[in-house]
């Protein structure tokens, strides 16, 4: 009975689920969608990943938030570690879910909308890009202000909220957020560097470097 986690290295949302599978040494096969597109497309017609399936047991999960929860609660054998990752109270659990949901929806979408056209990932339109920047600036201010007062997003240690949001910010740090950008957002940068050294995701981030220069709009 093989459980499969479908991912694609070009996508951001599968980063944390893949890292969790590896960290917990879960008995799950990690499969690139391009290596099994026929089966993947048949079972997941929207062709979105991450997706988790065991065709024999009927396990069928989509959406990063649900998959992260499933992986931690199923494969983490230490109840205290589960609490540290997902929250030790109803309020903390709700805060973790809040930031994680925000991360894989508004944060990532607005970040890609702003950075994507500068990198050739998306078509560039001057007016549309100005609007995208304005929207993403609001997101950045939320995090910069919050992290000015807190070491991490929810508690005094890394939670799933931090893992999820840092993976979303990877797109920006990898392609655009250079040292000059970091001077504008020192709290985000401090937090990002700390979280990405966490043992849960360190293997993924160990060879990733911050962008050397902020890309300029195409002419």
Mean pLDDT of the chain: 96
Mean pLDDT across 192-209:
97
The tens digit of pLDDT for each residue in 126-157 reads 999 999 999 999 999 999 999 999 999 999 99
Q: How many other C-beta atoms are found inside a 10 Å radius of the C-beta of residue 168?
A: 26
Residue 189 is predicted with a pLDDT of: 98
Provide mean pLDDT across the span 31-38: 97
Does pLDDT of 185 surpass 80?
yes
| Percentage of the chain lying above the pLDDT 90 cut | 96
| Predicted confidence band of residue 172 (pLDDT cuts 50, 70, 90) | very high
How many residues can be counted in the chain? 219
Average pLDDT over residues 168-174: 97
pLDDT band at 218; cut points 50, 70, 90: confident
d(CA 168, CA 12): 6
Residues 188, 141 contacting (CB under 8 angstroms): no
Contact 98, 104 (CB under 8 A): no
Q: Are strands 3-7 and 28-32 parallel, antiparallel or unpaired?
A: parallel
| 1 pLDDT higher than 70 | no
Burial class (CB in 10 A: 0-12, 13-18, 19+), 145: exposed
Q: Which pLDDT score, from 0 to 100, does residue 74 have?
A: 97
Quick one: what percent of the chain has pLDDT higher than 70? 100
């Amino acid at each position: 009975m093989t459980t499969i986690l479908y991912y694609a290295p070009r996508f951001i949302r599968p980063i944390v689920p893949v890292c969790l599978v590896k960290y917990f040494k879960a008995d799950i096969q990690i499969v690139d969608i391009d290596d099994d597109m026929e089966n993947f497309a048949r079972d997941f017609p929207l062709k979105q990943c991450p997706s988790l399936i065991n065709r024999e047991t009927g396990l069928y999960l989509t959406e990063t938030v649900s998959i992260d929860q499933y992986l931690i609660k199923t494969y983490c054998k230490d109840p205290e570690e589960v609490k540290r990752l997902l929250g030790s109270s109803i309020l903390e659990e709700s805060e973790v879910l809040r930031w994680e949901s925000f991360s894989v929806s508004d944060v990532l979408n607005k970040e890609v909308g702003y950075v994507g056209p500068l990198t050739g990932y998306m078509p560039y339109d001057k007016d549309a890009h100005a609007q995208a920047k304005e929207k993403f600036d609001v997101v950045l201010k939320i995090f910069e202000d919050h992290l000015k007062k807190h070491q991490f997003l929810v508690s005094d240690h890394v939670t799933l909220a931090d893992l999820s949001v840092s993976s979303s910010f990877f797109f920006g740090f990898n392609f655009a957020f250079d040292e000059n950008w970091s001077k504008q957002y020192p709290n985000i940068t401090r937090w990002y560097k700390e979280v990405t050294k966490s043992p849960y995701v360190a293997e993924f981030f160990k060879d990733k470097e911050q962008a050397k220069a902020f890309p300029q709009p195409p002419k």
